[in-house]
Structure 1
Amino acid sequence: MFGGSESDDCVTANGMVYIPEVRNEETPAVGMKFDSLDLAYNFYNRYAFLAGFGIRLHSSFRGTYKKEILRKEFVCCKQGAYRKDETRERKRQRGISRCNCKAKIVVVKTNGSKKYAISLFAEGHNHKMTDSERVHLLRSHRRISDSTKVLTKQLGSVNIPIHQKVSIFEVQSGGMDKIDFIKKDIYNLECSVNGKLRNHDVELVTEYFMAEQKKNEAFYFKIEGDGEDRFSRCFWADATSRRAYRLYGDVVVFDTTFNTNRYDLKFAPILGVNNH
């Protein structure tokens, strides 16, 4: 059902409406109050998990005076519809199709209180619910544990590709149905982590170069950025190498065969012979 086509998942016979069967205490109701919008989202997402659908934020309204959020609308992940483009086909079929499902809740800030209350609850869906074995793969229910994040970082340090990482997690968990994330989540995690590491690593390299130059003025380095002031290349030569080049600079090898998978940058050592 999660990976089904729109005709299988979203077209109901005779306008049939699907009402999830969830215990009353875990079902939203108009007037139900929460201390924060996050708690309201978590409650509706928990209900959605038990019911068999995913949710997402559809709209948010902020007040003009205090700029605080006064209203949020959370909808079924199948709300809305993709625009049909007859001149261009989508390159990749996504697992979740949208079919104008009207299920949603609206949460508003209560007057004279810091609490938020449900002002509208549309319970019916125009599609079948996702079965319990697949519902955890819907976007709002996917989770990457802290231990998985640590292991992802460790595997990345030895250049294990993402598809192999997912296979390792699958074996560890006892099957793909036991994993609360998909390959795309690991890819997004790595992009986020690597982006932070790259920014931090540039700072560390710059600090190291400056410290070496402070110890010996003959140490030379230069760091260049691109048009958006992002790191693009650097060059350095320590005092010993520069002195050796002055004495034995007749034989030099410029090797660009070294590459790094992590930064997509070439490493080109300049090698010489010092007759020893």
Structure 2
Amino acid sequence: MVGDSEENDDCVIADEMIYIPEVRNEKRPKVRMKFDSLDFVYDFYNRYALLAGFSIRRHSSGREKYSKEILRKEFVCCKQGVFKKEEPRAVKRHRGISRCGCKARVVVVKVSGCKQYAFSLVVEGHNHTMTPPERVHFMRSHRHISEPAKLLTKQLGSADIPTQKKMSILEVQSGGMEKIGFTKKDIYNFEYYESSLMKNHDVELVTEYFLAEQKNNRSFYFKIEGDSNDRLTRCFWADATSRRAYGFYGDVVVLDTTFNTNRYGLPFAPMLGVNNHGQTIVLACAFLSKETTESFIWMFEEFKKAMPGGEPKMIITDQDAAMARAIFEVFPTTFHRLCIWHITTKFSDKLPRTAYEEYWKEFKETIWEIDNIDEFEEKWHAIITKSGLTDHSWLSSVFDLRKSWVPLM
């Protein structure tokens, strides 16, 4: 039944017109229909809603006082109830579903003496128009990601395909947007759920992966540690190719802990080398929950266990006191150098803007072009004196460490 009325988001607000869905009689809910469980009730009413053109949600329950068994359950139209006017809602996007006091609902009660439930009340009339068949499957209770779609989503995720492109691929695979049966938001929710499952079992999942790698090649080396909640705190690994490469190109090792993972907040520490073609090679990797001396000692000890041929002749790192102490303890004969790139790129942040713009060129020439220690020190002092930076703490600290990073030393 349809009448002329003012509508807002499909909800009738000017009169009391009632809309009865046109659904075949055998698909409609009826009083005294029985079901073996509340899940079967939901599925039946939701299939009816799909045919009718609306979405449903679970509503109020009545429970037995002591056992808490559900004796009464209500399922309602998604537009049941109204939003309170005194509570303004910040609207970030159009959700397509507003509440306008729709009374359509079904109520089931527990049948005495058995486990079944039966309809005790069926209200089919709605105070809003029905959603067309081509749009109804996008309503909340009808959206569903199929198992094949979930599997494809995981596979695309492992290839770092962004969610927007995943949706385009899934749309083509489903035969069009009108047949896909879920939205981009559903994919985001599914991925969040999957990542939360993995996050709570970090140690178990990573161990399983590394054991599988080790099964394929016994030379794969790894060590994992977790906390009492089975969350990853630190791990180290080196594959067979990297361990073999260290025997040839392990004289100089570069360690960079400036990477940080967004999801877990674990600093990523790749240990790199350079082969005889001038190409960067990965020797080993680690995740550390804390950048402490103890953590770095653990990492370097695992590196020693994994790598043939003894200690590296040189390790190049960023400026980190905890790491320096760990290197001195684990590799006492190894020459520790600081990465000149990390130091020179900090000049723009550490120096006052005007001083950087005026004197950076002179600093750069002093660092890279002077090949005499006495001349370097003389030139450095001349620059900081005329720039008024003689008391600059950071410049003083890097000058004190000059033998660890200046090329000529």
Normalised to the residue count of structure 2, the TM-score between the two structures is: 0.55
Match of 1:97 in 2: 98
Which whole-Å CA distance do the structure 1 matches of 2:273 and 2:261 have between them?
23
Amino acid at match of 1:234: R
Amino acid at match of 1:22: V
Q: Deviations over 1:48-91 (max 9, x none)?
A: 11110000001122212332211110000111122335666322
Q: Give the Cα–Cα distance (whole angstroms) in 2 for the partners of residues 177 and 9 of structure 1.
A: 20
User: Per the alignment, do residues 111 and 155 of structure 1 end up closer, same or farther by CA in structure 2, a change over 3 Å counting?
Assistant: same
Aligned to 1:269: 270
Contact 1:137 1:182 in 2 (8 A): yes
Corresponding letter in the other structure for 1:75: V
Match of 1:157 in 2: 158
Residues 1:131 and 2:146 aligned together = no
> Residues 163, 266 of structure 1: CA spacing in aligned structure 2 closer, same or farther, 3 A cutoff?
farther
Q: Secondary structure at the match of 1:57?
A: strand
| d(CA) in 1 for partners of 2:104, 2:53 | 12
In the TM superposition, 1:13-24 aligns within 5 A as 13-24=14-25
Structural mapping, 1:1-276, within 5 Å = 7-84=8-85, 89-205=90-206, 223=226, 231=231, 233-234=233-234, 236=236, 253-256=254-257, 258=259, 265-271=266-272, 274-275=312-313
Q: Deviations over 1:90-132 (max 9, x none)?
A: 2233121111111000010011222111111111101000000
Whichever residue aligns with residue 270 of structure 2, its letter is P
Question: What SS does structure 1 have at the residue aligned with 2:137?
Answer: helix
The 1-side partners of 2:56 and 2:118 are apart by: 18
Q: Is the 8 A contact 2:201 2:230 kept in 1?
A: no
CA distance in 1 between partners of 2:118 and 2:125 (Å): 20
Deviation at 1:256, TM superposition (A): 3.7
Are the structure 2 counterparts of residues 48 and 86 from structure 1 closer, same or farther at C-alpha, using a change threshold of 3 Å? closer
Give SS of 1:83's match: coil
Counterpart Cα distance in 1 of 2:24 and 2:151: 37
Unaligned runs of 5+ in 1: 1-5, 213-218, 242-248
The structure, 1 or 2, with the larger RCO (C-alpha pairs under 8 Å, 6+ apart) is 1
d(CA) in 2 for partners of 1:189, 1:200? 17
**Secondary structure of the residue that 1:40 maps to in structure 2?**
helix
Q: State the percentage of identical aligned residues.
A: 63
Q: Distance in 2 between matches of 1:47 and 1:271?
A: 62
The answer as to whether partners of 1:28 and 1:121 remain within 8 angstroms in 2 is: yes
C-alpha separation in 2, matches of 1:73 and 1:39:
13
The structure in which a higher percent of residues are helix is 2
CA drift at 1:163 = 1.1
Once residues 103 and 115 of structure 2 are traced to their aligned partners in structure 1, the CA distance between those partners, rounded to angstroms, is: 28
SS of residue in 2 equivalent to 1:49: helix
TM-score in terms of structure 1 length: 0.79
Instruction: Give the root-mean-square deviation of aligned CA atoms.
Output: 3.6
CA distance in 1, matches of 2:23, 2:140: 20
1:269 deviates by 2.1
Residues 9 and 97 in structure 2, CA contact (< 8 A), matched pair in contact too? no
Structure showing greater Rg: 2
Q: Which amino acid aligns with 1:203?
A: E
For 2:57, what is the secondary structure of its paired residue? Answer: strand
